[in-house]
Amino acid sequence: MTDFDANATRVLAVSPGGGRTFVLRIAAGLGIGAVFVVTFLRLVNFSSVSRRLEHLDLGLALLCGAVFLGAYVVRALRWRRLLVPDIVSVPRTVAVYFVAIFVNWLLPIRGGELAKGLMLRRSNAIPVSRSLATVTVDKAMDLLPAVALLAVVPFAGLHLSRSLWLLLLAALLVLAGCVLVLGLASWRRDRTMTWLSRILAAILPRRVSERAGPFVGRFIDTMLALGRKPRVLLIAGIYTAAAVCLDALFCYLAFRAVGVSVQISVVLYGYTFYNLAYILPTPPGQIGSNELIGLLIFTGMFGVSRSAVGAMFLFSHPWTAILMAGSGLVSLSAMGLSLRATFALPAAEEVRGE
The more confidently predicted of residues 99 and 155 is 99
Q: Is 306 left (phi over 0), alpha (psi -120 to 50) or beta?
A: alpha
Spatial contact of 188 and 102, defined as CB atoms under 8 Å apart:
no
The more confidently predicted of residues 239 and 266 is 239
The more confidently predicted of residues 209 and 335 is 335
Distance (Å, whole) CA 196 – CA 213: 8
Confidence of residue 91 (pLDDT cuts 50, 70, 90): very high
Distance (Å, whole) CA 299 – CA 309: 7
**What are the C-alpha distances in Å from 126 to residues 7, 36, 114, 115, 338?**
15, 40, 13, 13, 21
What ranges do the domains of the chain cover?
A: 3-353
Determine how many CB atoms are found less than 10 A away from the CB of residue 143: 20
Determine how many CB atoms are found less than 10 A away from the CB of residue 185: 21
Instruction: Give me the mean pLDDT over the 208-235 stretch.
Output: 71
Distance (Å, whole) CA 63 – CA 309: 19
Closest Cα to residue 346, out of 191, 149, 115? 115
Spatial contact of 318 and 88, defined as CB atoms under 8 Å apart:
no
Over 90: is that where the pLDDT of 168 sits? no
Spatial contact of 220 and 185, defined as CB atoms under 8 Å apart:
yes
